Each structure stands twice: as structure tokens, then as C-alpha cells.
Amino acid sequence: MKILVINGPNLNMLGKRDSSQYGTETLAQIEENVRKKAADLGVEVSFFQSNHEGAIIDRLQSDAGASDCIVINAGAFTHFSYAIRDAIADTKLPFIEVHLSNVHEREEFRHKSVFEGLAAEVIVGHRGKGYIMALERLVKLLSKKD
């Protein structure tokens, strides 16, 4: 099983961003933990982070064929990028939306997600652990299908 993990804008700055919302782990540390979990679960993971909407869309288009499912934290694009919504819908792959912070308890504009109705699950407020949870859920979800 191949899982594509996509992170959007400003997530490259984790560790320096507001730790009360995002925790203290860097993206590299989160990815390392995900890599270890993937090895335990016997699945493959690949990572992509970009601050650019088009680059995320390009990666979804190019890697979808070689992936079985997706974990995405689209950062602020979550709240308004219909272009990323379309790109992820076009992959036809199951995906889980992750947010480190609890977006529902923050500003009104963060309550809306363009992925609503598409994501298999949404995991919020678990900081870096949310990515591990997403991996576990996707592996369960996809093994049920076989």
C-alpha cells in the first residue's frame, strides 16, 4: 500500500509557528514518526510539502496513479481552494484530512473545509499525532476493501 502525505503552506515552518496551536514538532520530525509507523504497518509513504497551490495540484496529478490513498493537511488552502478540492476529487483516491490544531475551536474562517463531503475522515486537534492516526485509519479502511 502506498500512501501520499501532502502538507500545504506554512507547514514547513512547524516548530517555529504558534506552539499552542501546532505543537513543537518540526515537519521533519512528524514525517520521521510517520515513516516509522509506516514501516510498522508495512506500508510505503511519500511526502510532499509546498507553499504553492499549483505545486500541490501538480503533485496530486502526477502521484495519484502510483498511490492508494492520501493524507492531506492543506493548511489555509483547506478553507478556500476549490482547485485543490477538484484535484483531490479527480484522483478518486480515499483520503483523510488532518489538522494539527482544532480548527473548529478557532476563528470562524477555519471552520469551513472545501474537502467536506469528500474526505473519508477528518482528524483535528491531535498535533503531529493526527498524521499517525490518519495512517492507521487508512490502512484499516483499505484492508477492509480487499
Residues within the interface to ligand DQA (CB under 6 A): 10, 73, 75-76, 78, 99-101, 103, 110
Q: What CA–CA distance (Å, rounded) separates 121 from 115?
A: 10
CB of 11 to ligand DQA, least distance (A): 6
CB of 53 to ligand DQA, least distance (A): 13
Q: What CA–CA distance (Å, rounded) separates 116 from 80?
A: 12
Give the strand order in the sheet containing 44-49: 44-49, 2-7, 69-73, 95-99, 121-124
- Which one is catalytic: 22, 79, 82, 104? 22
Cβ proximity to ligand DQA: between 111 and 140 the closer is 111
Name the grid cell of 88.
483531490
99 is catalytic: yes
Cβ proximity to ligand DQA: between 56 and 103 the closer is 103
CA atoms within 13 A on the CB side of 69: 23
22 is catalytic: yes
- Which one is catalytic: 52, 79, 99, 126? 99
CB of 144 to ligand DQA, least distance (A): 27
Cβ proximity to ligand DQA: between 49 and 101 the closer is 101
CB of 4 to ligand DQA, least distance (A): 17
Cβ proximity to ligand DQA: between 66 and 76 the closer is 76
Q: What CA–CA distance (Å, rounded) separates 91 from 117?
A: 15
Tallying the residues shown for the chain, one arrives at: 146
Question: Is the four-CA dihedral 49, 55, 59, 60 of positive or negative sign?
Answer: positive
Positions annotated as catalytic residues are 22, 99
